[in-house]
Amino acid sequence: MSDQKIALVTGGGTGIGRAAALALAGIGYTLVLAGRRQEPLDEAVAAIKKAGGKAIAVACNVGDPKQVDALFGKIKSEFGRLDLLFNNAGMGGAPSLLEDLPFERWQDVVNVNLNGVFLCTQAAFRIMKDQKPQGGRIINNGSISAHTPRPNSIAYTATKHAVTGITKTAALDGRKYDIAVGQIDIGNAESSMADKMKKGVPQPDGSIRPEATMALDHVGRAIAAMANLPLETNVLFMTIKATKMPFEGRG
């Protein structure tokens, strides 16, 4: 069996997922990048290989149980093990008044942000508990919204609060298999979802104000630091944010 360490990053083609994948490749992981769109996945794989790393891309909708089964089946057949899962795939959904949110949009967000995390965590458990050496690490992408909501974001906020419940439960249930489960809560990284922060976003007092952002590679380095720990040590929760982003206290 190869000594290579295998990491799966969902939503790995762009933004935080791509930054995490590049950082993980830099500390020796072989990457499996999953996402719904093949083109950005292929571009991320090319960037990893250009930097001297190893990676493959697998198109997958993490909210679809059959596609998740196929993804993890490919990992098991191709590599024989999985050492790290970064549950990163997610969607925000356009801001909407709570009373006007279409149920279909609610379902879309729940399917990716919550069902996807559950399905991938479950599949990772099945591989990690049976492999030798046993165990592995799972890192869930929470969000500042796992703590504090933004206005008009009930679907996103509800799912990110629920991810915290998955993290705590999986961390407890993973102990017997040497599976360490943690969560990184990210605030205003310079991804496409955060570009609007610089222009101004609604605040709880009804005003529109720009917010500070941070570089994506800072997030990637934080995820790599969590991943690089031995399995007997776990970062259960890490919050990483732009220093001047309004979060602490009253703003």
Active site residues: 156
Give the contacts of 146 (CB within 8 A, at least 6 positions apart). 160, 161, 163, 164, 183, 185
Exposed/middle/buried for 225, CB within 10 Å: 0-12, 13-18, 19+?
Answer: middle
**DSSP H stretches of helix in 80-215:** 103-110, 116-130, 154-173, 195-199
Count of C-beta atoms within a 10 Å radius of residue 102: 10
108 vs 119, 215, 251, CA distance in Å?
A: 15, 28, 30
CB 221, CB 23: distance < 8 Å: yes
The answer for 143, left when phi > 0, alpha when psi is -120 to 50, beta otherwise, is: left
Please name the amino acid found at residue 26.
G
Give the Cα separation of 44 and 195 in Å (integer).
20
Helix (H, G, I), strand (E, B) or coil at 126: helix
List the structure tokens of 127.
Answer: 């591989």
